[in-house]
Structure 1
Amino acid sequence: MPLNPNELEAYCEAHSHTPSADLQALEKATHEQTDMPIMLVGGLEASLLRLLVRLSHARRILEIGTFTGYSALAMAEVLPAGGELITCDVNPESTAIARQFWAQSSHGEKISLKLGPALETLSTLDGAFDMIFIDADKTAYPAYWEACVPRLAPGGLLVVDNVFLGGQVLQPDSEAAQAVHRMNQMAQADERVECSMLSVRDGVLLAWKKR
């Protein structure tokens, strides 16, 4: 029987963790108030992120690329009390939606937003992170990789979204596709980490930093 990717994704989402009421409301607002709701990670990937936070026992998370704050809130919901999630973005409009919904959540106090270029923000932050999630400007993926791996605690997880870039990485003609493909190659060859690429939605790369 031929497999339909959209039907399989819907099946996976239906049989994974159900998003909280706060996340469902945020997803609805993202579709109503933004021009690019496709940028939302969605329930299936959010359920994966939540499990990764739990399994890694993360207490300090860095996110590069906030959009409307869905993934940040999904991860914050399973951060332990006293946990911290720092998220970076350059768009004050989409992050205004994020701030609104974080304020309504009992977990919003765990999240802090840094407006400005992520690489500049990262240079101002102290300490290591237990988990880093990259979902931002694709042309900067190689730079994000090089900046983030040293900031990851031993045994920490680096998670990168959109590593398929809609399949463009198979024939990387555009600048964005070339950058994502280059980062994928860098990750596979990087002896500081052990990585695995998952065919979840538009591709998710997991990298575990060696101790």
Structure 2
Amino acid sequence: MYSATELYPNAHVTEAVHEYSIAHSTPLPEVVEQHRARSIDFANRVGMDPGMMVNTLQAQFMLFLAKLIGAKKVLEVGTFTGYSALAWAEAIKGQEGAKLVCCDIPGPHTEFAKATLLEAGFLNKLVTFFEGDGVETLQSLPVDQFDIIFLDANKDGYLPALKTILSRNLLSARGIVVADNALKQGLVADATDKNPHAANSNPGGVMGYEHIDEFNKFVRDNEQLEQVLLPAFDGLNIIRLKQ
């Protein structure tokens, strides 16, 4: 059966198309591109997985998306080394009332991210950084509304984060929630032995695909919301309030 996601015949062509797409998309600002290399080096040095960053093409997409919808206020739950935060900041800087709120648990990655945002001239100006549990931070944030809310932290926190966003009215009328890793290596669709990632999965863990599946089902069944789940990167569930 034809599937619109079966575009390329093998992994080699898929990788070639990915690199072609990067080369033919608007380049990232130099400060963002340089930070990617520094982040990979940092993560390897401290024993963290650099794969937790969004990839280059996704950063290009995020920056473009923010500009496309005219976003001024962005909330990011899960900042890691600050790579995605830099992309958001570059997208919204210069606008009156622009702000980026970042949330992540304390750790070496958080210090690295804050130092990067400070060096770029964003921290404590355009960017406010909250350290601690993401859901607890959402519950205690000063009342505001955001045009983009990016979820990219522990997957067991996605659903309580979204429920908090809705109950506290944190999403602007024209805003979108972008949930990363919404397909979790395809495990939400197929966690059998036909999926090579199944052997290494931990369904009930904080990064487990069952939490993502529960989140996706909640979004699908919620009458307040409309959404599109894209098989791009590791899956993006892009959600907005029903118009």
TM-score tier after normalising by the smaller chain length: over 0.9
Show the counterpart of 1:183.
Answer: 215
Whether 1:174 and 2:203 are equivalent positions in the alignment is yes
**1:119 aligns to what?**
135
2:19 is equivalent to residue 10 of structure 1:
yes
Q: Aligned to 2:137, what secondary structure does the other structure show?
A: helix
Between 1:187-196 and 1:131-140, the stretch displaced more is: 187-196
Q: Note the aligned Cα RMSD (angstroms).
A: 1.7
Q: Secondary structure at the match of 1:77?
A: helix
Q: CA deviation at 1:205?
A: 1.1
CA contact (8 A) 2:105 2:131 kept: yes
Aligned length: 211
Instruction: Write the distance in 2 (CA, Å) between the matches of 1:54 and 1:191.
Output: 28
Normalising by structure 1, report the TM-score.
0.92
The one of the two structures with greater contact order (alpha-carbon pairs below 8 A, sep at least 6) is 1
Q: Secondary structure at the match of 1:11?
A: helix
2:146 to 100, 122, 129: 129
Conservation of the 8 A alpha-carbon contact between 1:92 and 1:115: no
The one-letter code sitting in structure 2 at the alignment partner of 1:168 is L
SS in 2 for 1:171: coil
Q: How big is the shift at 1:42? A: 2.1
Superposition deviation, residue 201 in structure 1: 1.0
Is the 8 Å Cα contact of residues 128 and 153 (structure 1) preserved in structure 2?
yes
Match of 2:31 in 1: 22
SS in 2 for 1:154: strand
> Which residue of the partner structure matches residue 139 of structure 1?
156
Q: Displaced runs of 4+ in structure 1, greater than 3 A?
A: none
Larger radius of gyration, structure 1 or 2?
Answer: 2
Aligned to 2:41: 32
Q: CA deviation at 1:82?
A: 3.4
Q: Secondary structure at 2:153's aligned position in 1?
A: coil
2:178 counterpart letter in structure 1: V
Task: Give, in whole Å, the separation in 2 of the partners of 1:12 and 1:199.
Answer: 16
Secondary structure class of the residue paired with 1:207: strand
Q: Unpaired runs of 5+ in structure 2?
A: 1-7, 192-201
**Pairing partner for 1:152 from 159, 166, 171:** 171
